[in-house]
Chains A and B, each alone.
Chain A
Amino acid sequence: DSGVTQTPKHLITATGQRVTLRCSPRSGDLSVYWYQQSLDQGLQFLIQYYNGEERAKGNILERFSAQQFPDLHSELNLSSLELGDSALYFCASSVEGRVNTEAFFGQGTRLTVV
C-alpha cells in the first residue's frame, strides 16, 4: 500500500458527461501529480500541484482541470468526455515537488467512456 488513495476505482460514463476523480496523498506529502495511462499514448504527465498551487502542466486538455485543496487532497475534473478519454488515471504524491524526491502512486481510477 503506497498510502495514496484514489476514488473511485472504476467509473463508467457516457460521452459528453463530466466526472471528478479524487486523490488523497500520503500523509505529509505536499505535491500531487496526475498522469493518464492509455493504450495509444502510454503514461503521460498531466499536471502537478504543490501545497495548493499549480506548479507544472503537461499534456492536459482544456476540457480537463484540477485543483489541490487546503487539506492537500486533489481532484481532477474531466468534462465533455469523449471515447478517447477512456484511460487509467493515476495520482502520485511526493514530499516535495522536486527532482529526486520519490513519487508514490495510487492504484488509479479506470475511466470508461461509452
Chain B
Amino acid sequence: GDSVTQMEGPVTLSEEAFLTINCTYTATGYPSLFWYVQYPGEGLQLLLKATKADDKGSNKGFEATYRKETTSFHLEKGSVQVSDSAVYFCALQNRGGTSYGKLTFGQGTILTVHP
C-alpha cells in the first residue's frame, strides 16, 4: 500500500536558520505530493503541492521538489521565523484504484523556532 515517511522530530532551530524536513514515499501509482502545516489548536492547511516529477511547489518561502527517482519530496526554507513553529505533514494522493482523493500522511514533524 501507499506510505509516507518523514524525518523524526522534533526539530528545533534558531530564527533565520535553514530548514530541511525529509520526506520519502512509497506508492503503487503516480501520486501527487503535498505538504500540510498544522498550527497549534488549528486544522491542517495546505502549504504547497506538486503533481508531477520535477515539479517544484512553493509558498511562503517554503519549497519542495517532486523527485520521482528518489521517491522524495523534501521541504526546505532558507530562513525560518518564529511564526513557522508548527507541525508539518508530508502527504500523498494516489491517482489509481479507488483512492478518490484521500490523503496518506507521514507521521508529522514538530518544528520549533527560537528567537
Name A residues whose Cβ lies closer than 8 Å to a Cβ of B.
2, 4, 31, 33, 35, 42-45, 48, 50, 55-56, 58, 90, 92, 94, 96-108
Chain A residue with the shortest CB-CB distance to B6: A42
Stretch at the interface among B7-15, B17-25, B69-77, B94-102: B94-102
- Residue pair A45, B104 in contact (C-beta under 8 Å): yes
Name B residues whose Cβ lies closer than 8 Å to a Cβ of A.
32, 36, 41-46, 49, 51, 89, 93-95, 98-108
- Residue pair B102, A33 in contact (C-beta under 8 Å): yes
Tally of contacts, chain A with chain B, CB under 8 A = 67
Chain B residue numbers with a CB within 8 Å of A45 are: 102-104
Indicate whether A105 sits within 8 Å of B45 (C-beta atoms), given known contacts A43-B108, A99-B93, A99-B94: yes
Chain A residue with the shortest CB-CB distance to B31: A99
Indicate whether A48 sits within 8 Å of B51 (C-beta atoms), given known contacts A43-B108, A107-B42, A108-B43: no
Indicate whether A90 sits within 8 Å of B43 (C-beta atoms), given known contacts A99-B32, A99-B93, A100-B51: yes
Chain B residue with the shortest CB-CB distance to A55: B100
Bound-state Cα–Cα, A50 to B51, Å: 23
Chain A residue with the shortest CB-CB distance to B36: A105
Which of B36, B99, B101, B105 meets A101, CB within 8 Å? B101
- Residue pair B101, A43 in contact (C-beta under 8 Å): no
Chain B residue numbers with a CB within 8 Å of A104 are: 46
